């Protein structure tokens, strides 16, 4: 689900930056500059029904990842938020040819397990298996996609699980703040709707999930990736046999992305809360824009790493919060820059003052070469490490396709990160982080928070 994916990304990023920070505090010998990233060689075919297939010989471990990535997700939920999640979950509940138990056992016998993931714009179903069973895995995957059983009892169980998760999310200040922040930015666009209501979730029918899959999980909107160690000739033959009868569907119509202008301020009451949960940000340029790499570098230096400026300020120096972070969140045709933090209630105003101060400082003054070089080494190193697995390579290639980028984006990523100058970092902050145009969401105790916000000079124009 959207929130699941978001939390996974945040958790992964925090793990990486924690490791980076620990290493920095121990002051190890200076390392060399990370090497360039090389995109593995690939071979592509396209079936008559429009299904794209990419083979990626990678690594030496005799395992393979088979993943079917489709241009669909929560953006296609319509008024039934989380319909995509339930629909993809239904694919794992058995087919006309075998039960869910038989499916799981079949994949387990290949040394793997079935995985699904639903994002806002892109989703996948796939599995990791021993390389010798790659062709068999392709056949199982095709059976799940084309012949899912869609039983009432399975959907009832999945909806019960989803209702529990919804209750948890709607009681979590972080989730509440994130949803409200995106609604302030995107309004009623799917990008602004993260959670269903309990009533709308209960109303989802088997036919709804079946229609979602038949309408959106179609070959001409899908890309099958096979990465690892496998017999390409045999797997290619298996792919053609398994997916040849999959029928084309309609292309998804593009959804115009409009963002609401700031500034806006929303306080969501949480009476007596000892902490305030903050989301502060605005729309930014997406991955196709020439400034995107500069935006990423600027974000990492400002708040996107454990040793970044905002984190060092309000966590290390002031002790207002434990885990502040800023991020650039990608969407198709759009992106968001935001700073998020859980701060002590009494330090809500002070925390915002410091965040705005750091933004203004970076906008007015270029960082030192040494500070920027440390950020660039970190970003380049993490990028290379993050892409050293079968599934990571698939994720990166799928990212390129989703955003209409070519392989030079990956090939030149490290070089482009190092090409950003201190002056460009400052210029980018000034260009895109306009404090007078941001959206601010605060979940906390209004009586404690409101007087503090009135003292924050940067918020005088907010409404």
Q: What is the DSSP string of 144-162?
A: HHHHB---HHHHHHHHHHH
The domains of the chain, with CATH numbers, are 2-6+39-243 (3.30.830.10), 264-459 (3.30.830.10)
Q: In the chain, count of helices (H) and strands (E)?
A: 18, 11
Tens-digit pLDDT string for the chain (463 aa): 444 444 433 333 433 333 334 333 343 344 456 566 788 899 999 999 999 999 999 999 999 999 999 999 999 999 999 999 999 999 999 999 999 999 999 999 999 999 999 999 999 999 999 999 999 999 999 999 999 999 999 999 999 999 999 999 999 999 999 999 999 999 999 999 999 999 999 999 999 999 999 999 999 999 999 999 999 999 999 999 999 999 999 988 877 888 999 999 999 999 999 999 999 999 999 999 999 999 999 999 999 999 999 999 999 999 999 889 999 999 999 999 999 999 999 999 999 999 999 999 999 999 999 999 999 999 999 999 888 899 999 999 999 999 999 999 999 999 999 999 999 999 999 999 999 999 999 999 999 999 999 999 999 989 7
- pTM (two decimals): 0.90
- Can you give the pLDDT at residue 24? 39
Q: How far apart are CA 218 and CA 402, in angstroms?
A: 16
Sheet holding 439-444, edge to edge: 264-269, 439-444, 275-284, 334-344, 325-331
Sheet holding 63-70, edge to edge: 43-46, 52-57, 222-228, 63-70, 123-130, 114-118
Per-residue buried b or exposed e for 274-304, using 16+ beta carbons within 10 Å of the residue's own CB = ebbbbbbbbbbbbbeeeebbbbbbbbbbbbb
In this structure, the dihedral spanned by the alpha carbons of residues 411, 416, 419 and 421, taken in order and rounded to 10 degrees, is -170
Residues 6+ apart with CB under 8 A from 252: 71, 72, 76, 216, 221
**Does residue 337 contact residue 284 with C-beta atoms inside 8 Å?**
yes
The CA distances from residue 445 to 221, 275, 319, 349, 462, in Å, are 46, 8, 20, 13, 19
| Other beta carbons less than 10 A from residue 249's beta carbon | 18
Q: How far apart are CA 16 and CA 93, in angstroms?
A: 35
Q: How far apart are CA 443 and CA 441, in angstroms?
A: 7
Q: How far apart are CA 336 and CA 333, in angstroms?
A: 11
The alpha-helical segments, DSSP class H, found in 217-344 are: 232-243, 292-299, 309-311
Residue 94 falls in which region: left (phi positive, over 0), alpha (psi -120 to 50) or beta: left
- Can you give the pLDDT at residue 3? 41
Tell me which residue of 254, 99, 82 sits closest to 159, measured CA to CA. Answer: 82
């Amino acid at each position: 689900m959207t929130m699941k994916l978001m939390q996974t990304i945040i958790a992964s990023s925090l793990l990486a930056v924690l490791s980076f920070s620990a290493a920095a505090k121990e002051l190890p010998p200076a390392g060399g500059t990370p090497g360039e990233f090389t995109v593995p060689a690939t071979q592509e075919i396209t079936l008559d029904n429009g299904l794209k297939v990419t083979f990626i010989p990678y690594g030496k471990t005799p395992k393979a990842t088979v993943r079917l990535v489709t241009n669909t997700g929560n953006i296609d939920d319509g008024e039934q938020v989380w319909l995509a999640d339930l629909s993809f979950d239904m694919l794992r509940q058995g087919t006309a040819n075998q039960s869910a138990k038989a499916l799981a056992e079949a994949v387990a016998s290949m040394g793997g397990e079935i995985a699904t993931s639903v994002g806002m714009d892109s989703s996948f179903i796939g599995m990791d298996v021993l390389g010798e069973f790659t062709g068999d895995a392709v056949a199982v995957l095709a059976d799940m996609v084309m012949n899912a059983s869609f039983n009432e009892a399975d959907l009832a169980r999945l909806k019960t699980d989803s209702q529990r998760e919804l209750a948890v999310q709607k009681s979590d200040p972080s989730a509440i703040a994130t949803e409200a922040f995106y609604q302030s930015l995107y309004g009623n666009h799917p990008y602004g709707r993260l959670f269903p209501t309990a009533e709308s979730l209960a109303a989802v029918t088997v036919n709804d999930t079946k229609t979602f899959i038949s309408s959106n999980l179609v070959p001409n909107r899908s890309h099958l990736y096979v990465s690892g160690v496998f017999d390409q000739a045999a797997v290619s033959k298996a792919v053609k046999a398994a997916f040849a009868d999959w029928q084309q569907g309609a292309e998804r119509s593009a959804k115009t992305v409009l963002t609401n202008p700031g500034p806006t301020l929303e306080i969501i009451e949480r009476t007596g809360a000892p902490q305030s949960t903050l989301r502060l940000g605005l729309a930014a340029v997406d991955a196709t824009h020439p400034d995107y790499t500069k935006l990423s570098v600027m974000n990492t230096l400002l708040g996107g790493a454990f040793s970044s400026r905002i984190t060092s300020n309000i966590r290390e120096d002031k002790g207002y919060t434990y885990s502040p972070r800023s991020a650039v969140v990608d969407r198709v045709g759009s992106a968001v820059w935001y700073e998020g933090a859980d701060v002590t209630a009494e330090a809500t105003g002070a925390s915002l003052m410091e965040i705005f101060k750091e933004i203004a400082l970076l906008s007015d003054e270029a960082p030192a070469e040494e500070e920027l070089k440390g950020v660039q080494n970190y970003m380049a190193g993490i990028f290379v490490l993050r892409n050293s697995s079968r599934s990571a390579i698939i994720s990166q290639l799928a990212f390129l396709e989703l955003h209409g980028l070519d392989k030079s984006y990956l090939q030149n990523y490290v070089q482009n990160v190092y090409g950003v100058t201190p002056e460009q970092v400052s210029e980018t902050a000034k260009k895109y982080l306009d404090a007078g145009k941001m959206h601010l969401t605060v979940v906390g105790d209004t009586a404690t928070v409101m007087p503090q916000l009135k003292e924050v000079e940067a918020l005088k124009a907010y409404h």
